Structure 1
Amino acid sequence: MSIHRIKHSAQKISPPKLRDTDFPARIRRYLKFAAANSPTMVSNLQQAYWSRTSYVPAGTFSQPSIKERRKFTDIMDEEINDEKRGKPGRKPKRLAHEIGTPLYLHGQLKTLKKETGISKPVPIDESDFVMPFFREKLQDISFQDDGRAVFTCYAIGLPAPSYTWFRNDLIIIETNRTKVKRLDDGRCQLILDPAKEYDCGVYRCVARNTLGSVVCRARLSLGDVPSNVAAPFVQDYSSHDVLLQWSTPKHLIDAHVQAYRLESKKFSANEWSIVDDNIHQEFYLVTGLEPNESYQFRLSARNKFGYSDPSPPSEAITTLSIDANKTIRLPLAMQFVCNETEIMPPIDYNQEVQPIQLIKSEFKELYDFKSIIATGKFSVITKAYIKDGSRKTLACKCVLVQSEIESSINHEYEIHKSLAHERIARLMYANRDGNLFSLAIELCSGLNVLTYICRRQSYNEQHVATILCQVLDAIQYLHFRGIGLLELQPDNVLIADEQNLQIKLTDFANARYISNQNAGHNTMANPEYIAPELIRNENITLPYTDVWTVAVLAYILLSGHSPFKGNDGQETAQNVVFVRYIFERLYPRVTQEAIRFLLSVFKLTPHKRPTIEECYECKWLLRNEFMMKKREAAIFDTNQMKIFTEKFINDKSITHKHSRLLDLIGLNE
């Protein structure tokens, strides 16, 4: 081989020349030297990299950095393109932080014991094990200084879970004043006796067994009597009656109002007389007044700590003359009042293994129907008494036998008969005879979330967040039982306690047992309230499919509009499938945290939506004082919600289809 060829071969196999890695360092040294000796260079560097107004000492130099800036719209376009190509995309980062001792450390400890011979390996069949679940979660507590505060929760699982308590993310250690107590029924209590002001904060309880852990949270705060209530104002009046309305006190000192006391007096008199001291709503119809007489009214609010000071007196109102032929008609939202307060027995969790049996007898032997609560497309919900001597008042859902949805209500019975949870309306009786299929459910307060809001003067984001967290609790229980809710209409969220704002879910006609999440389900649900994968008959993926329905409810409560409703069913379905909705309909005072929550959930790809636990952890729903004050400051008027509620009820009330059903139960007017 010639020397010329060897030379060329050596050139081919010689290592590539590396770039000068010292060049940036030499540039920085040069710039430092130039900045220390040249005022012109300092000025140029200041204009290029430093603030024009900041003073930069001679000889100092900040290394300029180049960062890529990407538009938010570009990132959204990439996600949309991925979805069009059918790519699921990268899953969002789930909660990475561990609570207490990570579970993998328990596994490592078990392995170390086996290796060192401390414990012999025992084969364990984990097929029958059950991951922990909170049947009863912690509730917010308020106390007065040196009072006693007790948190109680109840978790189940196999093996039985252990409990760990935290305050503001710090583990709680038992002392003479702070004790953790396990009750015989499986519940766990954290007792602070006495509780001090510095104990206030967010408390968490973690229940854990070998399969995993679950968390529940609550807030401890210092309480006092309510602040003064604003003066009531007159909505309407006649010769003998006056309809009053008022707003909830702005500062409840973390203790809900239990009742109001209303007082009245003639304008010329000095002494006040009590009209009623056990009012549970923010309105009252005063009757039995004298014609052509001027009256004034005032209020006091009561919580567990006592009564507030009386409000300022209302403006004097003069009743009409006795000749005036006027009758006060209550607005629609005020007509949903349940005067009877039924004391329901404690939840019987044995109902999960011993469900409510279907009674096959004449419905007239079991129920005494009194009035209509609501009407659906194919059903009527009535208030009924039970003919068993107890005279319990229940809400009875009635459907004609051999109608087009008989199979649907039978399916609803199969789902509902074994549900036992504090956020699920309890099924008390089920009956089927030759004409009628009926489900008797606890009546609660007679209100749903729409009528609850409409009978108020205003509401705020704190009300919305409280409702949504409890809805998530109910859906979490359904998922624990292997059930997907799939559809959530706003009138299916019942108000169990109007003053303390406790809700319960009802109507499981479109719920399904999800044994195989890779299979779609045909549903008769309204496309307005279901996830896009159901419309396209694609895979049902829990919990993401049900989280979508929660966001739809959130949008309605934050705007008074349905997010995807179109001119007809087909347009509505297209809006859902293409995730077309208008953010400008949200109230102007809606917080940015609430908007981010909606943005995070309204995703076409299910796995890009948050889980239920991530919803609890999102900033908008946090229980810390900063977010609570921010949510309470976002106050909304109820006028738009009243318009939405009236249209919602009218769309569902097709009374001409129920003539035979109403005749059968004796309520056809």
Structure 2
Amino acid sequence: MEKDGGKPKTYVSTFRLALKPQARSFCVEEQREDATKRTFMGNNKLGVSSATDSRRTPVQALEAPHFKQPLRDCAVCEGRDASFQGAIAGSRPLSVSWLHNGKRVHSSNTSFQNGVASLTLSQCSHGDGGTYTCVAENTAGKRSSSAVLHITTTKEIPRTSNQLHSEVTFKVGSPKNTELSSASKERSVHREEEVKVPTANRDTNPQTKVSSKGPPVEFVDPPEQVEVRVGEQARLHCEFRSSSVPVACCWIYKKNKVVVGGPRMSVRSSETQSDVEISQACPEDTGSYTVVVRNVKGSAQHTVSLGVIDRPDPPASQPVIAQLSTESLVLSWTGPSYDGGTAVLGYKVEVRQEGQDEPESWTEATSRCKNTSYHVLSGLEPHGQYRFRVRAYNSAGVSEPSQESECVKMATKEEKKKEESESYVTVTIDTNHKAKDFYNVHEKLGVGKFGQVFRMSHKDTGQVVAGKFYRARTAKERTAARKEISLMNSLHHPKLAQCLAAYETRAEMVMVMEYIAGGELFARIVDDNFEHTEPTSARYMQQILEGMQYVHKQNIVHLDLKPENIVCVDTTGTRIKIIDFGLASELEEGKPLLVMHGTPEFVAPEVINYEPVGLETDMWSLGVICFILLSGESPFQGNNDAETLAHVTAAQFEFDEESFEDISDEAKGFISSLLKRDQRCRLSCAEALAHPWMVSFTPLNRRPTKSLNKGKMKRFLAKRKWKKTGKAVLALQRMANLSNRPDSPGSSSEEPGWSQEAEEAIQSLDKQLQSEPRFQRTLRDATLPKGATARLTCLVNGYPQPEVKWLQNDEPVSGSVGVTVEQHEDGLCSLVLADLEPSDSGVYVCRASNKLGEAMCSAKLKVEM
């Protein structure tokens, strides 16, 4: 700052890239300014205070930083030095920092003096290429300026320490080399052979070099998942490195809808990053967001998963009471219909004594229940009357309470419940009544391929049951329903769920099943208060085998054994039952049974190969269940169903050392005896029950045991939550497996393709980049001595990449020894003339054209004797 008439005046001088003398190249000349720009800007009154201004407060008089001279793009040869400079004005103090491709530059080769910020780069390599940003900041604001550094490789024209720097770079020839010697010609011919590349101008036939290095777009540590709570702002931020500019970006929601700005959503993109910001995020915003970034060299994409979480909905049903005694009872309920976008972590059970209607009369029976059932063991009195309600909670909060349970009166000691012996009913389908004539239908418990399951209660006795409502619109569906009801009449065993009644009308078919309140076995095991050891696992397998042994004695095969179909009788004991015989079939001698249904992880190889199934098919599934029970991992699980099925058909599995560290060799042998590729080699139920692993855990052979890690089991259940339905027909899976093979015609990736809207948006990126040729740097006049080497250099942008032609005095540059054309993908074009002669003097024109237009620039070259 200098004073002029008592007023401050800012002088901003021009500047140029400070390159070492031996490292200067054509790019420096871009920084030269006209003579008028070399003078001081004496009339530029920055921060001037008038009489009116003097009355302002100091804060009001502050001036935000701004770039009087922004950074400029440049290109240097690999191994050379380069620097960026920018002139900055604004109120002091000013702080200046530098970024390279969005990351902070920590270098001692930076300075900020007399309003000029500088960054020097020594011996540049290709890793130094990219976008450099200078950020200036003071208390009034922040501004930045960016430029791109191009690193080139030029081998055609070797440089010497005598190299000079001018509008055109050249090499001074030897004093003796006033004429082109035969040796020089040989070197020129040899040089041409080294760099033979198809030229952009086939008419002139000079040699052309085009460079292409690295990926077109590379993402820098992009996020994989973003999670926010409802009502908060969500920001999806992706930084990237682009090998060229300009770039065009778009965001696609769920590969279907183009993300555009709106009242709650904004999209911002630059040459180094792209963002989507969503204010007041709601659950509907949850999903995958894919950013597609394109430049003239290619494109790249990255997908970010956005989760908008909220506290869960209340449990879908009121608590149901079972196992009532004098001072305890068992509650069961259905989980929330919506978990809030993140896993339900547990439930809070609340109780209120009847007759106390004040809000504070509700007290917590437990705040850490992990399942949808709970055994209330304390706080209840004989003759007492109580109501219960339940709240679900996740990482975002606690739900509203469920509906209250019906009022329950505790039993007296005289009314102590007797142990009921198992009693079985042979069911005859009632075609004269509806299920609703005898039962009240409550909340939905589940949905399957067959139809829906509801909790029901008998209108007279209050008995709680489960009603399986079949989808029976066609004769085929009705036949399948009758088949299951008929099979259930053959399956009367304590380890099997029982059918209690059945109703068929023109409108519906319903099978009434016993209500089993304990929940799925695997979900029960992961409860923190529940024991999980190898012996307990053996006892569970023993019960399953006992139940399946009875089923197999009836010559019935289940065909859908999986963790969801093994449930606990109650919440405190270890008794289990097998449920869901919807896919079961009776085997007939001499009539092979072939099926096309099952669950990929648990189905046997013969099902996938569409070979006859038998009782051994269930034994394979039991081997998979046992493997998961002991390790928490699935033996055949692949990255997709096709991969899983491939593992199953090959019977490929292994006992992971970490997962089976505490498991006995007998257990591994038991599993291996079931997971045999050949059906004939698998153990039967009777043989499995007599296996040494089963015998080793009888009450007479107790031995120290270690609790098994439940972490992997929890992760397994979390994955199963999203994969329980929808993939029952394996015929389709086999076809998908075939179509995904590399040698299959029309094979494609597992992910669905883009929608038409998304495809059009992605294709439009290319159109956004298209532009007619434009010279960013033009040719400069030059005067050189005879025998020197001249390099006429310009920088042209345009997309599609312009075709470049060189003219001398309006005639195409003739192809001759010592003439080389260089054209780089970044738009840098050079005409190199070796061993100059006076005839090389004249006006040189570079003409660039593409389908959108044409541009030209010219310069005079004078060759002196």
User: What is the TM-score when the length of structure 2 is the normalising length?
Assistant: 0.36
**Could you say which structure has the higher strand fraction?**
2
**Could you say which structure has the higher helix fraction?**
1
Of structures 1 and 2, the one with the larger relative CO (CA 8 A, separation 6+) is 2
Structure of greater Rg: 2
User: What is the TM-score when the length of structure 1 is the normalising length?
Assistant: 0.45
